[in-house]
Amino acid sequence: MLPTTFEFRWDAGHMIFFGVFYAVVIAIFTSLVYVAVKSIIDVYRDMTARNEANASEHPEHPHEATNEAVIAKS
């Protein structure tokens, strides 16, 4: 599976077969990494937007307003 394995030989069969196999594996993992990174960015963007919305609703005392909301809810 890896060139470090003792039976491995750099012949055409190995290069074609493993070349295609690793290309597929790389395509899968690249896509997964893309999804993971994009999802984290989306969550972060959502959090920022929510914080900004809260801040614009209560521009003078945002922390106090948040605390009041929590107390009122509880």
Region of 1-9, 51-59, 61-69 interacting with another protein (CB under 8 A):
1-9
Strand segments (E) across 16-64: none
Could you tell me which stretch among 33-41, 57-65, 66-74 binds another protein (CB under 8 A)? 33-41
Which residues contact residue 60 at a Cβ distance below 8 angstroms, ignoring those fewer than 6 apart? none
Cβ 13 to another protein shortest distance, Å = 4
| Positions in the binding site for another protein (CB under 8 A) | 1-2, 5, 7, 13-14, 17-18, 21, 24-25, 27-28, 31-32, 34-36, 38-40, 42-43, 46
